[in-house]
Structure 1
Amino acid sequence: MKVVAIVGSIRKESYNLQLAKHVQARYADKFEVEILDIAPIPMYNQDIELDAPQEVLDFKAKVKAADAVLWVTPEYNSTIPGVLGNAIDWMSRVDKVMNGKPSMIMGASMGAMGSVKAQMHLRDILFASGLNSPLLPMNEVYVGAAHTKFNDNGELTDQATIEFLDTVIVNFQEWMKNFA
């Protein structure tokens, strides 16, 4: 199974990028994860959507080719980051590469709530008609106090979080069989 991870932060040392890398490495025996870089995607502009820049075409092609999408988002001002919203805007237009594509959401933040508000908003967005993405139910992953759960090398070290992810990833893998 091929999964693309879309990380809502473009910060080099992002905890969400570290979380995506953990999933990519730890569960390589369950599925292939490619982490997509959303930084090069230009701002969505309806004037050019029919002749989109190559960065957008490449990004959308990778999403379209994937079996599922793993969203890993921080929380900015109680919602998703603008850069993530921009990537979503491109995916929801013209060929609508997310239509029917299964998704799973997780996120990390230094706060206690672990991006819960951003994830709630992302769920609403993914159900929009231009996206229509089914979401793994009842397996929310909120990594709060992320700065205490990763070491200086960006490795997830919190055993309770690792064990929880082990369970959720198995649930995701089993749920994905509904879309094969």
Structure 2
Amino acid sequence: MSKPSIGVIVGSNSRASINLQLAKALAKLVADKADFEFIDIGHLPLYNRDDDANTPQAFVDFKNKVRAKNGILFVTPEHNRSVPAPLKNALDAGSRPYGQSAWGGIPAAVIGTSPGGPATSMAQQHLRNILVFLDMPTMQQPEGFIQWKEGLVDADGNIGAASQQFLTTWMEKFLAWVERNAKAR
């Protein structure tokens, strides 16, 4: 596979999101090895199956972006021990109507950050369960439960020295996962 095209979906729609900061810094770590596109989910209307017969254009455009990717990197916070509502909405919108899912077969990875000790472990587990149903081969190891601390991402948007080796290796393993599990096109 030549340079893979990776879609990055951040589970938060906050402009000040620490997960968005992490996602941008992760992409910088391996920018020479893949092309990254951040796929916005904040503008998507709330999914309603009543609209399946006349799919909103925002969903059509979103699904086309997803389908064009070789892999998807999910970077998500945890809301009430689960995935945030905007992310769940995007997953539902991208999988409907039944039989027209954009997700199927696209390799994925899940990572996230939070100031708390367990980071985003529960949200990641819930997301992995959803991704199994959506038929997305999802990287299992290494896991990425990243505690947000001063210096994780510096003022220039780079991963700090204390986490750089682990997160560079994590991203390299993700890119290898994408190559190994390439979706037949």
TM-score normalized by the length of structure 2: 0.90
Residue 11 of structure 1 is matched in structure 2 by 14
* TM superposition shift of 1:156: 4.2
Say if 2:128 is the partner of 1:126. Answer: no
Which AA in structure 1 matches 2:110? I
- In structure 2, C-alpha distance between the alignment counterparts of 1:32 and 1:106, rounded to whole Å: 18
Within the candidate set 165, 170, 176, 2:172 is matched to 170
Q: CA RMSD in A?
A: 1.5
* TM superposition shift of 1:146: 4.0
- In structure 1, C-alpha distance between the alignment counterparts of 2:156 and 2:102, rounded to whole Å: 31
* TM superposition shift of 1:56: 1.1
Residue 78 of structure 2 is matched in structure 1 by 75
- In structure 2, C-alpha distance between the alignment counterparts of 1:124 and 1:9, rounded to whole Å: 19
- In structure 1, C-alpha distance between the alignment counterparts of 2:126 and 2:8, rounded to whole Å: 18
Which AA in structure 2 matches 1:105? V
Structure 1 segment 64-143 matched on structure 2, within 5 A: 64-94=67-97, 95-128=100-133, 131-143=134-146
Tell me the alpha carbon deviations over residues 43-64 of structure 1, each in whole angstroms, 9 at most, x when there is no partner: 0010112322111111110000
Unpaired runs of 5+ residues, structure 1, are none
Structure 1 stretch displaced more, 21-30 or 82-91:
21-30
* TM superposition shift of 1:157: 4.3
Q: How many residues align?
A: 177
Aligned-pair identity (%): 36
Contact 1:15 1:146 in 2 (8 A): no
Tell me the alpha carbon deviations over residues 17-76 of structure 1, each in whole angstroms, 9 at most, x when there is no partner: 011111222211111110111111000010112322111111110000000100000001
Tell me the alpha carbon deviations over residues 80-114 of structure 1, each in whole angstroms, 9 at most, x when there is no partner: 00111000001121310111111000001111112
TM-score normalized by the length of structure 1: 0.92
Contact 1:108 1:146 in 2 (8 A): no
Unpaired runs of 5+ residues, structure 2, are none
TM-aligned CA distance change 1:147 to 1:78, over 3 Å: farther
| Higher RCO, Cα 8 Å, sep 6+ | 2
